[in-house]
A and B are shown apart, each in its own frame.
Chain A
Amino acid sequence: MFPTPIQNWNSRSKFIYFTLVMFTLVAWLLPLVIITLASFMTADQLNSGGRGLNLPSPLSIDGWITAINNEDFRKSFLNSFIIVTPVVIISIGLATMAGFALSKYKFRGQLLIFAIFIGGNFVPFQILMVPVLRLTQDLGIYNTKWALIMFHGAFQTGFCVFFMRNFIAQLPNELIEAARVEGASEWQIFYRIIIPLVKPAIAALSVLIFTFVWNDFFWSLVLTPASPDGMLAPAGLSNIIRGRFYNAWNVMAAGSLLVALPPVAMFFVLQKQFIAGLTLGANKG
């Protein structure tokens, strides 16, 4: 193991190590601590030079209440949940099928198709912007949740295919061969054998896709700019909260923390799945 495990260190080094880690951690989280403090301050304190690393005095939850009481902002939260769910189902469903086809069948152009899915993942959103915007206008879903569901569903499918193909490729071929010999149809193989085996991958992907889509800002600004019925929470924060409470930093701070809360909570609960998803492919060349 590298570096040397601290169990083998002398106690002085252990103490230095502990101090160093704690010091780094405090410095690392400082911006978040400061914004949390700000969310509990009154507007008076914030405007009279209290914006530094000060304790809120008096302690106030006005910022939180104002942010939560804003109906449009609440709506944007609800939108986020409504939009994320179908996106997770669509993209993982389609990608599991495609990943199965790309890893367990052999046909011409296989690698090319896989490469296109991967490449599509990394293109800048800006090059898709004008045509996707036009498409949603033509379909009459511009400024609605459907626009975001449709686009994110497709875009996240690319990432999921990349992930699923690599995951399914590691499953043993013998299982599939054996089922085929016993006369199972390809759909039966998919349902009975593949789906149960990829459950860990589905869990890891769901957590990741939830976070990616929850945090989307660009597409919400482009596809649902004028609609509290369609926009996602980060756009709600920027368009609604900042628009109405400009310079009210306690409201802004509380709003930011509210938007951050769901993915953070999800991360702490499902940490294992999250990190497994993120680090796939990081240790093999």
Chain B
Amino acid sequence: MFLLPAMVYFFILVIYPIFGSFWVSFHAWNGTTFQCSDGRSLKDLGAEEICRRIPKMTWVGLENYERFFEKSPRDLERLKDFWMSWLKGEAPRFPRLSVETKVLLNNIIWLALFPLSIPMGLAFALLLNQSPTWVRLTKSLFFFPFVLSPAVIGFVFQYFYDPNGPLEGIYNYLGWGSGIIGDQSKATYGIIVAGWYPQVAYCMIIYLAGLTAIEPEQVEAARLDGAKGFTLLYKIILPQLWPATFIALVVTMIGALRSFDLVQVMTGGGPGRGSSDVLARYMYQKTLFDQDYGYGATLAVILFLIMLVFISIFIKQIISRESGR
């Protein structure tokens, strides 16, 4: 009785659409053609007649998925050659890759580098876990970038990275004429650094909360045993911070895969075709601008399946905690 309204509402707008996307991903559809729900074409409709419009989609089975992975073997081969000759000490040119491969590669780079915000957040938390009033005020100044809209952060960093902006001197020194996000090979890294900004703040606050929950007796006991500094941190503090680390890890991994706003604002996936693009943004473009709804849904499904790994880990943890009560 209390549960029903929330359930119905949530299922219609969040759970059902997941299956809807799976269904669309097996079709080809341009998003604009419709037919009547009884199969008639809209043109055959009499002047006075109305009918329920449904999308006119063509069943294509797994074709969209084949299309996504079509170039993967070739690109894997190219990447292998590149790394082999790089390991031999040569200076190979980075191979040309299909947009799909670049997008996947960028998602992997995000997954690998975005979590660095966790140790950075821990470092900030350790630096600021002090009680004087001025430190507490400082904490809020460190934290507030978290409440900024990612779109705003995107603009702030776009300006910060501008070839004629604050970093101009550094760019000149390094010979990076087009700046970080203006360069195909560096754009993704530039966006990830911008992504760290709110994420470090978030991890910091999670760790600060974790640090206040640490049992003082254990820390004192370890101190009496002569543990200090990093040993103490590593042996006593970090294990006790595991719940905080776990949450930070899950939220950060999912955040890494969700990265849409920053890429859209800062580079729009470019420069060039897909050099900094990620699944979340490429899907948006394919669907709404290239009007390839079936393929867009396929990209979304692939992203969803990758994310499902992290979602299930989180749910499993919560359920085991519940049943342990």
Residues of A within 8 A of B (CB): 1-3, 5-7, 20-21, 24-25, 28-29, 31-32, 34-35, 38, 49, 51-53, 94-95, 97-98, 100-102, 111, 113-120, 122-132, 134-135, 138, 150-151, 153-155, 157-158, 161, 186, 190, 211, 214-215, 217-218, 221-222, 225, 233-235, 237-238, 242, 249, 252-253, 256-257, 259-260, 263-264, 266-268, 271, 274-275, 278-279, 281-285
Contact = CB atoms under 8 A, between A and B. Distances in A.
B311 A122 contact: yes
Contact of B304 (A32, A123, A253): A123
A20 B127 contact: yes
A101 B157 CA distance: 45
B180 to A, nearest CB: 13
B243 A285 contact: yes
Contacts of A101: 1-3
10 contacts: A1-B219, A34-B159, A38-B159, A125-B260, A129-B296, A161-B6, A190-B2, A259-B149, A271-B140, A281-B243
B205 A252 contact: no
Contact of B152 (A49, A123, A237): A237
Given A116-B15, A127-B303, 7 more contacts: A2-B214, A3-B126, A132-B17, A215-B149, A234-B150, A264-B147, A279-B205
A34 B166 CA distance: 8
B159 A234 contact: no
B247 interface: yes
Contacts of A34: 159-160, 165-166
Contact of A124 (B138, B197, B304, B319): B304
Interface stretch (B39-47, B63-71, B92-100, B278-286): B278-286
B2 A126 contact: no
B-side binding surface: helix, strand, loop or mixed?
Answer: helix
Interface in B218-262: 219, 232-233, 236-237, 242-244, 246-247, 254, 257-258, 260-261
B141 A282 contact: no
Contacts of A126: 260, 279-280, 283-284, 299-300, 303-304
Interface string B285-325: 00110000100110111011001001110110011011100
B183 interface: no
Contacts of A32: 145, 156
A268 B298 CA distance: 42
A113 B7 contact: yes
A242 B155 CA distance: 10
B33 interface: no
Interface residues of B, number: 107
Nearest to B244: A282
A84 B318 CA distance: 29
Interface in B115-153: 124, 126-132, 135, 138, 140-145, 147-152
Chain A to chain B: the 8 pairs with minimum beta-carbon distance, closest first: A131-B20, A154-B13, A131-B17, A279-B209, A283-B213, A98-B6, A234-B151, A215-B149
A31 B21 contact: no
Given A126-B300, A130-B20, A281-B247, A120 B15 contact: yes
B117 to A, nearest CB: 13
Contacts of B265: 217, 238
Interface of B: 1-3, 5-7, 9-10, 12-18, 20-21, 24, 53, 55, 124, 126-132, 135, 138, 140-145, 147-152, 155-157, 159-160, 162, 164-166, 168-169, 197, 202, 205-206, 208-214, 216, 219, 232-233, 236-237, 242-244, 246-247, 254, 257-258, 260-261, 264-265, 279-280, 283-284, 287-288, 293, 296-297, 299-301, 303-304, 307, 310-312, 314-315, 318-319, 321-323
Contacts of A260: 148-149, 152
Contact of A238 (B53, B148, B151, B297): B151
B149 A153 contact: no
Contacts of B131: 5, 7
Contact of A52 (B135, B165, B206): B165
Nearest to A38: B159
A188 to B, nearest CB: 13
B307 A124 contact: yes
B243 A263 contact: no
A249 B130 CA distance: 39
A52 B166 CA distance: 4
Nearest to A128: B17
A25 B142 contact: yes
Contact of B129 (A3, A153, A284): A3
Most buried by B among A124, A125, A151: A124
B197 to A, nearest CB: 7
B151 A259 contact: yes
